């Protein structure tokens, strides 16, 4: 079924993607990084999670263990950084705020991606270029923008914008007459929503490209890939099935966990870590205006070298749903005490909040504590202080002060935008 370019709609979708985002954040505050290879490592400095174009050209894959490429990177003078999530998160907020001034409807899709609604009638590319220039000027972050009639096609258009410098960062698929040819060079695994298992199934039945998927039999697609697969097919045909989600859908489960920088053996440090993770999970819970009814704590020694291994978890059902951090810490500590076993070198711990529901959706019971409103007000104040002055400005003593178990960040850059003591100096 040969199809021409999708018909121009009254409006178009645009996917804005920050280029090499973590690397770009580092470069904003250090001009010496502009034309040198840069790589960012993951929690505990284990794997490479962001690469500049120079590092990509060396053949270093995403997620590669750092030790395997350490000599190659050093040989090319690569600047290595530990992950600086405080900086990246704040820079992301700034980019999204700028985009919000460039388009009336914005969906923040991830830390470095956002969908926009742009005007049709040939004006979308001009709007996109203006938005791209404004983000670069106001934040220093370079972006690529793909424009198309649907979100799935906008994802594909963004790939062309990013991989083909001749388009100068913006690719408008709504103005193209060679959409068939473009979709023919996009492999099916590069289509948004097609995972590994679906790719294998499609390949087995002779569907290898986005164009072949677009032209597939609808009944067969729905039988094999369900209604979500059929929506993908429609999206590839230029029929919009996925509207912008301007308000993020509340999560049904919130997890906070980290691998330790050093093995932990004693209950005390382990309890500090779990309390710290509860604090972060509760912040996220309140951020989506929710409360939770269940809490799970897990610990593991897995992958910490030789020796005995142990993994366990414990779930507590709360007497009433809450987002009050001290209460959640109390239950988490009780769970931890029941699963902790001495004599093991623990590698990781974490907490998961479930049975999540909107705040205010439960009926108060007759003997509800009068402290309820006071507790909520306290959490609002804590969140406001930490939001304004940086996470951890106010913290719970149960999380500890030294935190020797914290993940390694040996080469972390300063938190330029969220810590007063780390704000860069400007010299005239």
Per-residue confidence (pLDDT) for residue 247, from 0 to 100:
65
Q: Which residues contact 51 (CB under 8 A, 6 or more apart)?
A: 20, 23, 38, 39, 40, 60, 62
Q: Which residues contact 246 (CB under 8 A, 6 or more apart)?
A: 105, 106, 107
Two tokens, residue 9: 């709609």
What CA–CA distance (Å, rounded) separates 399 from 286? 19
- pLDDT single digits (tens) 291-304: 999 999 999 987 65
What CA–CA distance (Å, rounded) separates 282 from 254? 9
What CA–CA distance (Å, rounded) separates 28 from 34? 9
CATH top class, domain 254-363+370-399: alpha beta
Per-residue confidence (pLDDT) for residue 7, from 0 to 100:
46
User: 3-state DSSP call for residue 17?
Assistant: strand
Residue 68 bridge partners (DSSP)? none
Residues in the chain: 428
Two tokens, residue 207: 């569907």
Q: Which residues contact 378 (CB under 8 A, 6 or more apart)?
A: none
What CA–CA distance (Å, rounded) separates 33 from 23? 9
**Integer angstrom CA distances of residue 313 from 25, 319, 332:** 37, 20, 11
State phi, psi for 146 to the nearest 5 degrees. Answer: -110, 135
The three-point CA angle 20-192-106 to 5° equals 65
- pLDDT single digits (tens) 132-184: 999 999 999 999 999 999 999 999 999 999 999 999 999 999 989 999 999 99
DSSP letter for each residue of 189-255: GGSTT--HHHHHHHHHTT--BHHHHHTS-HHHHHHHHHHHHHHHHHHHTT-------SSPPPPS-EE
11-19+88-236 is a CATH 3.40.50.720 domain: no
Residue 154 exposed, middle or buried by CB count within 10 Å (0-12, 13-18, 19+): buried
254-363+370-399 and 11-19+88-236 share a CATH fold = no
Intervals of the chain under pLDDT 50: 1-9, 370
pTM of this structure: 0.77
Two tokens, residue 348: 């990781």
Under a CB-based contact definition with an 8 Å cutoff, are residues 52 and 60 in contact?
no
Per-residue confidence (pLDDT) for residue 11, from 0 to 100:
73
DSSP letter for each residue of 283-320: HHHHHTTEEEEEEEEEEE-TTSSSS---EEEEEEEEEE
Two tokens, residue 373: 């409103």
What CA–CA distance (Å, rounded) separates 220 from 217? 5
H or E segment to which residue 109 belongs: strand 106-110
Rg (CA), the chain: 24
Where exactly are the structural domains of the chain? 11-19+88-236, 254-363+370-399
Under a CB-based contact definition with an 8 Å cutoff, are residues 194 and 156 in contact?
no
Under a CB-based contact definition with an 8 Å cutoff, are residues 359 and 291 in contact?
yes
Two tokens, residue 221: 């697609």
DSSP letter for each residue of 356-402: EEETT-SPPPTT--TTHHHHHHHHHHHHHHHHHH-TTSS--GGG-SS
Under a CB-based contact definition with an 8 Å cutoff, are residues 286 and 250 in contact?
no
What CA–CA distance (Å, rounded) separates 255 from 99? 29
């Amino acid at each position: 079924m040969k199809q021409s370019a999708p018909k121009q709609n009254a409006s178009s979708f645009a996917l804005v993607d920050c280029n090499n985002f973590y690397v770009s954040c580092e470069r904003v505050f250090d001009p010496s990084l502009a034309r040198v290879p840069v790589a960012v490592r993951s929690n505990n400095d284990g794997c490479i999670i962001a690469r500049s174009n120079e590092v990509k050209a060396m053949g270093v894959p995403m997620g590669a263990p750092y030790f395997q490429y350490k000599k190659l990177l050093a040989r090319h003078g690569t600047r290595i950084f530990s992950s600086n999530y405080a900086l990246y998160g704040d820079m992301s907020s700034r980019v999204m705020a700028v985009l919000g001034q460039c388009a009336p409807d914005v969906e923040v899709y991830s830390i470095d991606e956002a969908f926009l609604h742009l005007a049709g009638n040939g004006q979308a590319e001009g709007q996109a270029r203006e938005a791209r220039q404004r983000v670069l000027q106001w934040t220093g972050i370079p972006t690529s923008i793909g424009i198309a009639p649907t979100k799935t096609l906008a994802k594909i258009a963004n790939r062309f914008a990013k991989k083909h410098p001749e388009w100068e960062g913006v690719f408008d698929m709504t103005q193209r007459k060679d959409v068939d040819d473009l979709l023919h060079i996009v492999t099916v695994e590069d289509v948004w929503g097609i995972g590994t298992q679906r790719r294998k199934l499609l390949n087995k039945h002779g569907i290898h490209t986005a164009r072949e998927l677009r032209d597939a039999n609808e009944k067969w697609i729905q039988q094999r890939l369900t209604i979500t697969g059929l929506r993908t097919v429609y999206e590839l045909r230029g029929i919009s099935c996925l509207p912008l989600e301007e308000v993020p859908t509340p999560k049904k489960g919130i997890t906070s966990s980290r691998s330790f920088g050093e093995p932990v053996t004693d209950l005390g440090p382990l309890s500090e870590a779990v309390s710290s993770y509860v604090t972060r999970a509760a912040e996220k819970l309140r951020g989506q205006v929710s409360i939770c009814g269940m809490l799970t704590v897990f610990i593991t020694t897995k992958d910490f070298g030789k020796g005995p291994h142990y993994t366990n978890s414990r779930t507590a059902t709360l007497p009433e749903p809450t987002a009050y951090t001290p209460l959640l810490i109390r239950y988490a500590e009780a769970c931890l005490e029941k699963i902790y076993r001495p004599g093991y070198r623990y590698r990781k711990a974490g907490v998961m909040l479930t049975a999540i529901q909107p705040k205010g959706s439960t009926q108060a019971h007759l003997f509800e504590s009068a402290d309820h409103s006071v507790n909520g007000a306290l959490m609002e104040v804590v969140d406001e202080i930490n939001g304004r002055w940086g996470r951890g400005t106010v913290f719970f003593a149960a999380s500890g002060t030294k935190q020797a178990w914290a993940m390694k960040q040996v080469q972390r850059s300063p938190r330029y935008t969220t810590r007063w003591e780390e704000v860069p100096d400007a010299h005239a």
